[in-house]
Amino acid sequence: MNTQTLYAVADGVATLTLNRPEKRNAWTLTMAQEASHWMREADADDNVRVILLTGAGGGFCAGADMSLLTSVIERTQVANEVSGRRAPLPEVSKPVIAAVDGPAVGLGLALALHADLRIATESARFGTAFSRRGLVAEFGLAWILPRLVGLGHAQDLLFTARLVDSAEAYRMGLVNRVMSADGFHAFAAELAAGVSPRSTRIIKTQVAAGLSQTLPEAFEMAEREMLASLTCEDFKEGVAHFLEKRAPKFTGR
């Protein structure tokens, strides 16, 4: 059976691959449903510590498949599908890495920006596309982009819809690392093996909460979580592996 996504788990990493290479992995309702299922599956799987989102065939996601927008009925279906959603995919508690090779444009850019980290090859390209389609910044990109790259870069990307390469994306803070596609899994596996899944889960919550907290509120949350961490198994292992100069064996407890 042909599927529009591929899913595999290895080395603590769940790799979710958008699988329409002949269409540069353009987004469809079927792809959205499949990918949402796999994101929830990965979040519930104790063997998964990091989720790696990527695309097949040298592309990440070229945006929404324009054939979805060719009729009033299809436009209504798309509107109903995205209504009330703050992101293209479900929010999860585990770190999500967007691994971009080729274009990440429009909705494809939204997928990448809603991830926690972004890594890219030298052939990656990023663009908003919305202003060239008579659309607006969707899925909160007008909120996310200024926080990632600053107001000037955000307005440039949103107004002009120009494509930027990975080098420029890295300079403006849109991308965390530039590497070969062969290094994508190793990067995710190193994160999965080297850090406490309990720590990353709580830190992810802290960062999200911190965007709307006052500094005293952030301190209060940090103090509460730090006290809880001091009694957990991963803290004991974190100290032990450092003193014993060995690789950690975190359990997430």
User: Against a cut of 0.75, is the pTM above it?
Assistant: yes
Q: Are the CB atoms for 6 and 17 separated by under 8 Å?
A: yes
Mean pLDDT of all residues in 203-220: 96
The one-letter amino acid code at 103 reads P
Q: Are the CB atoms for 119 and 187 separated by under 8 Å?
A: yes
Task: Report the distance separating Cα 82 and Cα 87, nearest Å.
Answer: 8
What is the architecture, at CATH level 2, of domain 5-191?
A: Alpha-Beta Complex (3.90)
Write the DSSP symbol of residue 122. Answer: T
Q: Exposed, middle or buried by CB within 10 Å (0-12, 13-18, 19+), for 175?
A: buried
pLDDT value at position 83?
Answer: 54
Express each pLDDT in 139-188 by its tens digit. Answer: 899 999 999 999 999 999 999 999 999 999 999 999 999 999 999 999 99
Mean pLDDT of all residues in 29-49: 95
